Structure 1
Amino acid sequence: MTRSALALLSILVIVPTGAHAQADDPLVADGRALLLDVVASFGSLQRNRDPLHTRLADQQLERLRALETMPPELREKACRFLKRILEMKGREDSLYRLRVTAIRLIAKLAHEVSWAKYLARVALARKGSPMVGLDFYVERNLANLRTPAHAKWLLTGLQDSRRSIRRLVLGALARLDDPKRAAMLLPALDRLCALAGDDDKEIASRAVAVLGQIESSRVFPPLVRAVTDGSALVRLAAAQALGRRLHVPGTVPVLARLLEDTNARVREECVISFRRAKDKAIVPRLIARMSKEPLRLRAALAKTLQHLVGHGFGLDPKPWQDWLKSARAAGNLDLDRGARATPRGRYASQYYGIPVLSDRVLFILDVSRSMDYRAGLVAKSRLARAKQELTKALRGLDKKSYFGVMAFSSSPLPLQRNGLVRVSERSIKRAVKWIGQQGAQGGTNSYGALELAFDKFPKVDTIYFLSDGSPTLGRTIVQERIIQRVAKWNRLRGVRIHTIALLTGDTPAHDVWEDKQDAQRFMRALAEETGGEFLIIK
C-alpha cells in the first residue's frame, strides 16, 4: 500500500474493539468493512492516474453510496476520507472525475454542518488550487445535504456580502424540488423577493427559481416583474416558477405573455409549464402558436394540447385549427371529433427509432477506429450500420427542414461549414455520398465535436450524437468537464442532445480494451443534461 493510502487510512478508526465490537450492529459492521475496503482499494489504484485506473478508482468510491443509511459517526468518517481525495495534490484531468464524485458523496453522507461550509470553500477555490473549477458540481449537490442545520446554513448564505456565495446558495436552493423542504424557505421570503430584482442576472434568475417553490401570495409580484425582465435567464426562470403556480388565480394570463417571448427556449418552457393547467381557456392561444413555431416547439405544443383536451391531431396546425372552430361552434372545448393519438404524419424520419421531431437538426457521427469493430466475421461493422441508419433518417426528413452532418474522430469534420442547409434532393444526395466516404480511423474527440456543434451551428435545436466509446483525446477527455461545458454552452440555447451508444461487437484481441460501461455512462449523462433520449445498441 502506498504512503498516501496509509495516510487516508490514518484518518479512520473503523475497527471497533472489545465489548463495543461485540454489541455492534451487523449492518454497521458491514458498513465499516466496506469503508475499509474502499479506502484500501482506492489507495492501490490511485498510484496510476491513467483513464482505466481512474475509472476503477471512481467505481470504488461509488460503493460508499451504501453508507447513506448508516449512523452519522460512520458517514462522517467516510466524508473525512472523501475530503482527502478532494485535497490530493495535482490538477490532472484524471483527478477531476474523482473530485466530482467526492463532492456528490459528501453531500449525500454528511451530518455535521461544517461540511456545507467546506463545500462552499471548494466552490470558491481560486486559480492555483487543485480544487479550482468545481463550483458547477458543488452548486448542483449542496441541495442534497440532509439535515436542518445544513438548510439553515444555506439560508444564512443569502445575506452574505459575496456575490459568489449568494449565487451558490441560490443555485442550491433552486434545486430543492421537495415541498416539505421548500417550507423552510418562508423565513427568507423578503430577502428572496429582493434578490429577484438584483442587477446581477445570475442572482436574480436563481432567486426567481427559488420563489417558484414557495406557497405564498407574496411571491406573485416579483414573478410578474420577472416575466418582462430584459434578461432571458430571468424570464426562463419565471416560466418555470409560474408553471408551479397555475393553480393560483391570475397566473395563467401572466405566464401566457411568455408565449410571445423572443427566446425559443423561454417559449418552450412556457408551453411545457401549461401542462399543469386545469383551465382550458389557454387552448386557443396555444393553437394559434402552432403555425408560428419550428417543428420542435410544435411538438411541445401538440403534447401540451393533447394533455389539456384529452386527444391530439398531430403536428400540423390545420387539424388543430379545424378542431377549434368546431369546438367553438359547439361551445365545448371537450369536443371529441376524429380524436386520435398524436401521429408523426409526414414527419416520419427516425434515427435508431428516435423520432426526428426537429426541423433544425444536426447529426454527429463517430468515425473513430473502434467504429470498425464488428460482431463476427460476416457482420457489418458499427460504422456500416450507423451509415445505413443515418442515410434512412436523412431521406425521411421533411422538405421544410434544415439539417447538418458532422463526422468526428481525432478532430471534427462537418459536411457543411456554414451552418445548416435546407433539405432538398440535391443536399440529401450530397450528404449521403459524403457519409459513404467516411472511414474508421483515429481517436474519439467528443469535446471537439460538441464544441464545434455549438459554435458553428447556432440555429440547431436538436442533435443526434452517435458514438461507441468514451472520449479518448481532445481538449479534455474527462466526462464531467465535457458535461459542464455543454451545460454552459446550452444555458439559453436549450439544444436537446439524443445519444446513441453503438456498442455492438467485441474488441479485437490485438486492440486496446474498451470500457463499454464507461461509454454508456458518458452518453447517458450527456442526454440527461440536455433533456434528450439515451439509447444503447448492443
Structure 2
Amino acid sequence: MNWGRVLLAPLLICVVALSANADETVSDFKKLFKKFKERSERIEAVLALTGIDEPDVVGALAPVITDDDPEVARAAMDILAALRDPASVQAVVGALVGAKKAPEQIAWLRVLTASGQEPGEEGREALFDLVKERDWQVRFRALQTLTAVGGEGVVVALIKARGDDELAVRCAAIDGLAALKAPETVDQALAALAVPDWQERASAVAALGKVREKRSVTPLIERMALEEGRLRADIGATLEGLTGRGFGARLELWKSWWGAVEARFELPTVEELAAAEEARARDSAQYAPIEEVSYHGVSTPSRRILFVLDVSGSMDNLVTDRERFKAEDYRSWSRMDVVRRELQRAVEGLADYVEFNVVAFASEVDPWRSKPVKANVLQKRAAIDWLDGLETIGGNEDQDLAAVGLTGSANLEAGKTNSHLAMMYALGVMDERGRRLKADEYALEVDTIFFLSDGDPSVGEFVDPDDILREVREANELRKIVIHTFALGHFRKTFMERLAAESGGTFVDLGK
C-alpha cells in the first residue's frame, strides 16, 4: 500500500475544503457587505476575510479601502497588507496601477507600504510614476512606499524629491534617505540645515543623527548658533549621539570642545555610546540650557508651546500623592486646583519671546486663543485670569445635581475625556467642533505640546488608546511636534507613556 498517498489524501481534502470555504466567504462578502449599516457590523464583515490569501480578496475589498468610514477602510487595508501569496500581492499591484483617482492611489500605496512586499517590475514602475503625480499626498505616500520596499533607483528618486514644491514631500525624501542609511543622506541633510521651514530642518537634523559621519559636527555646531528654541535642543541631541559628549544645547561648550579635539577626533561606535550613556545623561543635566520653559519637571527650550489641560469631571477628585506638589497657594487639593496653579506658574515664567496657547478639554475642546500669542505681560495676565475661571465639567457639583434628578443641568455627558479630539485639535487636524481641516494645513505654529490628563479616554470618535495613538502617529509624521505627557490619578497610564515615547517627548507620572 502507498502510505504516502493514504496520508496525503485527507490533507488534500482539507485544502480543497478550506479553499471552497474561502471562496464562499469572499462570495458572501461581495453579496452581503452593502447590507450592513452599523460600523461594528461592517468592520466585522471585513475581518471575516482575515487569513484568506487569495487574489479575489483584493477585488472584494477594492471598493472598501476608500470607504467614507475611515475605520472600515482601515480594516480593509489591514487585511490587504497581510496578503503574502505572490498572486495576491500582484493583484494589489494591479489595483494600484489601475487606480486613477488620488484617494484610491493613496489607499493602495498605504497597503503596499504596510505590506513591505516586493511589488515587482510593474509595481516599481508605477511607484516611480506616482512620485511625479500632481497631488502632493500621492507623491508623499509613493516616497514612503519606495522607502519601505527599497531597491534600485529608490535613492535617486528620493534625491530628486528634495526639490519638490511641497514641504511634506521634501521631508519624506530626507526621512527616506536616512531610513535606508544611504551614503547620500549626509550631503542632502547638510544642505537642508539652512532651508526656511523648521520641519524640514528638523528632518535634516534627525537624519544626521541616523547616518553618523564626523563631517556633520562642524555644520551642526554652526547651525546651533543660528537656531532658537526646540531645534537648538534637537541639534544638541544629535551632536551628543555623534560624539558621545553631553553638552546639550550649550553652544559655547560645543565650540570650545570641538575646537580642541576636531583634528584627532573619531566617532565613537554605537556600542561605545551605549556604554557611556550614564555619563552622557549626567552631563546633559549639568549643561541644560538656562532659558527653558519648565512644566512639572519637564523643561524645553521651545519658543512655540501649546498646553493641553484635562477639565473632565474626574479632575474634581483629590490629589492623594501630595509630596510632589510643594506650593502653599492651591485653592484646595482637588486635581483641578493643583494643576491649574501649576500651569499658571508655568505661564508666569514664560519669557516674552515665547509664543503659547492653552486648550482645555473634556468631551469637547475649549481653546483660550485661536492661535499662539506672544508671552508678554498682557497676554500672560489674560491667560492666568482665564485659567482662574476654568472649572471642571461634570465634576462633583454636577454629579450632585444629577443625583437629585437634575440631569439636564448636570450635563455629565460633557464631562468625559475626549483625548482623541484634544490631540487632533492640538495637532491642527480638526477644529474645536471635531471637523477635519484641509490635509495641507499641517505646518503649525507650535512645535511642542504639554498634554495633561487624569483618566483613560472615554468618549470621542476614537476611544481605544491604540486607535488614538495611530491617529496621532499619522498626523505627526507631517507635523514633527514633540509631545510631553503628564498623568495624574489612578488609571492605566500606558497610553500616556506611549504617546510621549512615540512623539519624542517625556512622560511624567504625577501620582494619584
Q: 1:175 maps to what in 2?
A: 114
Change (3 A) 1:186 1:213: farther
* In 1, Cα distance between equivalents of 2:128 and 2:76: 24
**Offset at residue 229 of structure 1 (A):** 0.7
Residue 351 of structure 1, CA deviation = 3.4
1:282 CA drift (Å): 1.7
Q: Residues of 1 paired with 2:175 and 2:49: CA distance?
A: 25
Deviations 1:318-345 (A, max 9, x none): 32233333334x4536699x98632333
Is 1:253 paired with 2:187?
yes
Q: 2:161 aligns with which of 226, 244, 255?
A: 226
Q: Do 1:324 and 1:333's aligned partners in 2 also have CA atoms closer than 8 Å?
A: no
1:134-156 deviation per Cα after TM superposition (whole angstroms, max 9, x unaligned)? 43564466434454444333322
Matches within 5 A, 1:245-284: 245-248=180-183, 250-284=184-218
- Amino acid corresponding to residue 332 of structure 1 in structure 2: F
Match of 2:367 in 1: 414
Counterpart code for 2:156: P
Partner of 1:499: 485
Structure 1 gap ranges (5+): 1-22, 24-71, 505-515
**In structure 2, what is the Cα distance between the partners aligned to 1:136 and 1:229?**
29
Q: How far has the Cα of 1:243 moved from its partner?
A: 0.6
CA–CA distance in 2 between the matches of 1:384 and 1:133? 38
2:143 to 205, 208, 224: 208
Secondary structure, counterpart of 2:63 in structure 1: helix
Identity of aligned residues (%): 29
In the aligned structure 2, how far is the partner of 1:102 from the partner of 1:274?
46
Contact 2:167 2:200 (8 Å CA) reproduced: yes
Q: Secondary structure at the match of 2:307?
A: strand
Q: Measure the CA separation in 2 of the matches of 1:172 and 1:228.
A: 26
Change (3 A) 1:407 1:124: closer
Which residue is equivalent to 2:391? Answer: 439
Q: Distance in 1 between matches of 2:120 and 2:240?
A: 35
Question: How far 1:360 moved relative to its partner?
Answer: 0.9
Q: Which residue of 2 is the match for residue 165 of structure 1?
A: 104
* Correspondence 1:329-368 to 2 at 5 A: 330=263, 332=265, 341-343=283-285, 344-347=288-291, 349-368=293-312
TM-score by length of 2: 0.69
Query: Is 1:300 aligned to 2:234, yes or no?
Result: yes
**Match of residue 222 from structure 2:** 288
454, 459, 469: which is aligned to 1:468?
454
Structure-1 residue corresponding to 2:249: 315
Q: Which amino acid aligns with 2:258?
A: L
Contact 1:107 1:145 survives alignment (8 Å) = no
- Separation in 1 of the partners of 2:340 and 2:306? 15
Task: Give the distance between the partners of 1:141 and 1:497, measured in 2 at CA.
Answer: 31
Distance 1:140 1:314, change over 3 A: farther
Amino acid at match of 1:366: D
Q: What are the equivalent positions in structure 2 for 1:26-425 lying under 5 Å apart?
A: 89-91=36-38, 95=39, 109-125=51-67, 131=69, 134-135=72-73, 138-139=76-77, 142-163=80-101, 164-176=103-115, 181=117, 183=118, 188-248=123-183, 250-328=184-262, 330=263, 332=265, 341-343=283-285, 344-347=288-291, 349-374=293-318, 380-394=333-347, 397=350, 400-409=353-362, 411-422=364-375
Given candidates 424, 445, 451, the residue that maps to 1:459 is 445
Q: Secondary structure at the match of 1:293?
A: coil
The 8 Å contact of residues 227 and 258 in structure 1, kept in 2 or not, is answered as no
Q: Please give the alpha-carbon distance, in whole angstroms, between the structure 2 residues aligned to 1:471 and 1:215.
A: 38
Q: Is the alpha carbon distance of 1:149 and 1:256 closer, same or farther for their aligned partners in structure 2, counting shifts above 3 Å?
A: farther
Distance 1:395 1:168, change over 3 A: same
Shift of 1:273: 1.8
Give the whole-Å Cα distance in 1 for the aligned partners of 2:177 and 2:234. 18
Mapped contact 1:271–1:304 kept (Cα < 8 A):
yes
- Check the 8 A contact 2:420/2:463 in 1, yes or no: no
Aligned length: 439
Q: Which amino acid aligns with 2:195?
A: D
Q: Specify the code of the residue in structure 1 equivalent to 2:129.
A: A
Q: In the superposition, relative to structure 1, how do residues 332 and 262 fare at CA in structure 2: closer, same or farther (>3 Å)? A: same
The offset of 1:238, in angstroms, is: 0.4
2:447 aligned partner, one-letter code: D
Q: Which amino acid aligns with 2:134?
A: D
Q: Secondary structure at the match of 1:122?
A: coil
Question: In the aligned structure 1, how far is the partner of 2:112 from the partner of 2:87?
Answer: 14
What is the Cα-based RMSD across aligned positions, in Å? Answer: 4.5
State the AA in 2 paired with 1:414: P
- Which SS does the other structure have where 1:123 is aligned? coil
Q: Describe the superposition over 1:502-526 as per-residue Cα deviations: whole angstroms up to 9, x where unpaired.
A: 333xxxxxxxxxxx55xx5875676
**Aligned-pair CA distance for 1:372:** 0.5
Q: Which amino acid aligns with 2:392?
A: A
**Distance in 2 of aligned mates of 1:525 and 1:100:** 26
Residue 197 of structure 1, CA deviation: 1.8
User: SS at the partner of 1:341?
Assistant: helix
Q: What whole-Å deviation, never above 9, does each CA across 1:7-60 have from its counterpart, x for those lacking one?
A: xxxxxxxxxxxxxxxx9xxxxxxxxxxxxxxxxxxxxxxxxxxxxxxxxxxxxx
Give the Cα–Cα distance (whole angstroms) in 1 for the partners of residues 499 and 248 of structure 2.
29
Return the alpha-carbon distance in structure 2 between the equivalents of residues 220 and 465 of structure 1.
38
- How far apart are the structure 1 equivalents of 2:301 and 2:174? 23
